[in-house]
Amino acid sequence: MSRAIIIGSINMDIVTYVQKHPKVGETIFCDDVKYFPGGKGSNQAISCKRLGCDTYMIGRVGNDEFGKQMIHFQKYEGISTKHVKKLDGELTGQAFITVSKDSQNSIIVMSGANLKWDDLFLEEITFKKEDVVISQFEVPNHVIEKAFMLAKENEAITILNPSPMRPISHQIKKNTDILIVNEIELEELTGKIDNIQDETTLFTHASLLIKSGYKTVIVTLGSAGVLLLSSKHKVIIKGHKVTPVDTTGAGDTFVGGIASGIIRGLDMIETVKFANIAASLSVTKEGAASSIPTIDEVNSII
Ligand code: RIB
């Protein structure tokens, strides 16, 4: 049976709700503060699970209250946490998020245990051909390099979501099957985009990534939809219109949707449509993991 295996970060999100983001040097009051399960890796795992995948999380938390709560939450959702280690003397990752009335967010991450991996982290798991292996950039390069190398040696499919962006090492790149970026990350990888609204310009930038060796490139364009480029596809799939409340975790929901479509045998266009709707539903609710829809909720709209 195919599995979604996520190697990634686990954070507790501490979210303040404000009228508008403070300027540098400004002190403002918030309307509310809430604690939500988060971390790009954990959110992607929750998305995979709620969207119908047998899901395994490989991650690190501190041996503290947030770590216990995060593992409890993942287990409650039905994710295998056998490979989530609690590290003594480390803090569980925390993200300090501010969401304004116009649903824009800013995020500061304290990585803590997410950066503490030894080289033995993959000894207990064997990748299989049917698996989809996912990572993002809130864990160190050496972790992703090793995981993707082993995944490809076993012919699994690998998905890289290089967020927050840093240079992508050759070792990671050569073992990445599907690259998922947003417009800002596309720009960071390919240079300044003159007109972000112009489809031809977007395809020109995405094709630079294909020329550099990526097989499938997916660019999320917010409410404008999703660009898909590969040897088989060159298409922009339009966005699903919703009223946004909080966009935190939309990208993570999308990544889980892609894994779900692949694992369930959908073709790539159907997969992107499915993930797009899942991500659009997630922005209609507060929080990251807490806003991710179930497969039934997505299918009721398709
Ligand atoms: O992508 C959203 C996530 O980024 C948040 O849940 C936060 O933890 C940060 O990692």
Q: Is the CB of 109 under 6 A from ligand 1?
A: yes
CA-proximal residue: ligand 1, atom 9 (nearest): 39
Residue 96 CA, ligand 1 centroid: distance in Å: 9
For residue 125, the model assigns a pLDDT of: 83
Residue 231 CA, ligand 1 centroid: distance in Å: 32
Q: Which of 10, 12, 13, 35 to mutate to test the pocket of ligand 1 (most atoms within 8 A of CB)?
A: 13
Q: Is the CB of 246 under 6 A from ligand 1?
A: no
Q: Is the CB of 289 under 6 A from ligand 1?
A: no
Is the pTM value of this prediction over 0.85? yes
Q: From 178, 180, 209, select the one nearest 193 (Cα to Cα).
A: 209
Interval 33-57: pLDDT, tens: 999 999 999 999 999 999 999 999 9
Interval 1-19: pLDDT, tens: 899 999 999 999 999 999 9
- Helices 199-211 and 183-190: crossing angle in degrees, nearest 10, is 60
Q: Is the CB of 40 under 6 A from ligand 1?
A: yes
CA distances from 265 to 15, 21, 77, 166, 259 (A): 36, 42, 23, 32, 10
Residue 95 CA, ligand 1 centroid: distance in Å: 7
Active site residues: 252
For residue 90, the model assigns a pLDDT of: 98
